[in-house]
Amino acid sequence: MSTRTGTSTSTGAPRRTLIVSPTFHGYWRSIEDAFRRRGHEVLTVRYDAYDTVGEKLRLKATVELSERLRVPGDRRAGERRRLTDRVIAAMRAFGPDRVLVVKGDGLDERFWDALDATPRVLWLYDDLHRHDHTMDFLRAVGPVVSYSPSETEILREREGVDATFMADAFDPHRVAVPARRTDEIAFVGSGYRNRYEILGSLAAAGLPVHAYGREFSRHLFDRARTWSWARPDLAASRDVPLERAYQIVGEAAAAVNIHGLQTGHAMRTFEIPGMGGVQLVDRDDVDMFYDVGTEVAVWHSVEELIELSRRAMTDRAWAEGLRTAGRARTLAEHTFDHRMATVEALWA
């Protein structure tokens, strides 16, 4: 839980804004700071904050292990009640004027009832199927923002939800753009089958691929907490903090962005160019945000990705052009400050 106070940009007291968020790789800090810069007094409550080893072990033992063993009973319901109690207590103590809920499906209906008439916005930063919300709930909850253009249209046009498209973002205040360069072809993120196969193909082609994340790491602890032993045959490291992830994608000869089946563009789409990195992305619709060829590079096959990776390592002028132009576009249009202005307009 964190409280920050900003200088109001208008007369009167700062607006009291509550952010209810998952820990979310620390993105809540970027959201909080963006509101602070806009003159809000901010309280952030991370509803899934398991900050100590004891809390993590308790979750594994009482919820995740029972689910793995298919023990009868809904262990998530009890955990959801506990988390909801904590969030409601913090909200009542703070007395917000408005609330931004990020994802929010780890809380039960008592939280939404406790909001009463307080203006709120629900931010779905991932695909609908990764959220545990019904359409009836989304119609009733108030303004919803989605990171996916196609799902926003479905919500608004087919389902009657008060939905607005809002892309993910980059935080230029988290860490300085790195001055050094590495020869890595870097990937930072979760391990899915398509990512294992694509990155493995790059490594097999002789490229210096390095993957960062718990599903790539061979550390015993990471294998235990992901409930899996198998790992792809490529250079890999453990999870890194968000600030270090920012640095890695900026330092690398190129950073690979593999979305797979996601319908919207994830945070990494904006973080790589934001950090002055060379982004090799798998989606033509990145042209909603960047000029393809001058700000980012798009690939459609493993063969094309191999070719672009080699070019990034050898054609320095081309790579530096992408770095400079991509960062300029990101700072002009795709920061958390830009996104929180969208949320403010929905509260108005």
Q: Is 176 domain-assigned?
A: no
Q: What percent of the chain has pLDDT over 90?
A: 72
The set of long-range contacts for 213-221, using a CB threshold of 8 Å and a minimum separation of 24, is 213/187, 213/188, 213/189, 213/238, 213/239, 214/238, 214/239, 215/190, 215/191, 216/191
Boundaries of domain holding 94: 2-171+336-347
Are residue 328 and residue 210 in the same domain, yes or no?
yes
Are residue 140 and residue 223 in the same domain, yes or no?
no
Letter string b/e over residues 134-155, b meaning 16 or more CB atoms within 10 A of that residue's CB: eeebbeebbbbbbbbeebbebb
Q: What is the pLDDT of residue 294?
A: 98
Radius of gyration, CA atoms only, the chain: 21
Give Cα 81 distance to the centre of its chain: 25
For the beta sheet containing 254-257, the strands, ordered from the edge strand earlier in sequence to the opposite edge, are: 235-237, 209-212, 185-188, 254-257, 279-281, 297-298
Are residue 113 and residue 150 in the same domain, yes or no?
yes
Report the CATH number that the domain containing residue 216 is assigned in CATH. Answer: 3.40.50.2000
Q: Which residue has the tokens 């032993």?
A: 229
Higher-confidence residue of 71 and 96: namely 96
Are residue 81 and residue 153 in the same domain, yes or no?
yes
Q: What percent of the chain has pLDDT over 70?
A: 89
Are residue 142 and residue 278 in the same domain, yes or no?
no
Taking residues 161-189, report their average pLDDT.
Answer: 96
pLDDT in tens, 220-232: 887 777 778 788 8
Q: What is the pLDDT of residue 50?
A: 59
Taking residues 160-171, report their average pLDDT.
Answer: 97
Q: What is the pLDDT of residue 70?
A: 58
CA dihedral 194, 225, 101, 273 (to 10 degrees): -50
Taking residues 338-344, report their average pLDDT.
Answer: 97
| Per-residue CA distances from 343 to 57, 164, 255, 347 (Å) | 36, 10, 30, 7
Q: Is 179 domain-assigned?
A: no
Residue 313 pLDDT exceeds 80: yes
Are residue 204 and residue 308 in the same domain, yes or no?
yes
Are residue 259 and residue 311 in the same domain, yes or no?
yes
pLDDT in tens, 87-128: 999 999 999 999 999 999 889 999 999 999 999 999 998 899
- The enclosing H or E element of 4 equals strand 2-5
Are residue 19 and residue 51 in the same domain, yes or no?
yes
Q: Is 15 domain-assigned?
A: yes
Higher-confidence residue of 73 and 35: namely 35
Are residue 253 and residue 190 in the same domain, yes or no?
yes
Q: Which residues pair with 121 in a beta bridge?
A: 100
Report the CATH number that the domain containing residue 54 is assigned in CATH. Answer: 3.40.50.2300
Q: Is 342 domain-assigned?
A: yes
Q: Is 232 domain-assigned?
A: yes
Q: Is 59 domain-assigned?
A: yes
Taking residues 47-55, report their average pLDDT.
Answer: 65
What CA–CA distance (Å, rounded) separates 326 from 289? 10
Q: Is 315 domain-assigned?
A: yes
Are residue 131 and residue 272 in the same domain, yes or no?
no
Residue 297: how many other CB atoms lie within 10 Å:
25
Q: Is 304 domain-assigned?
A: yes
Residue 4 pLDDT exceeds 70: no
Q: How many domains does the chain divide into? A: 2
The one-letter amino acid at 126: D
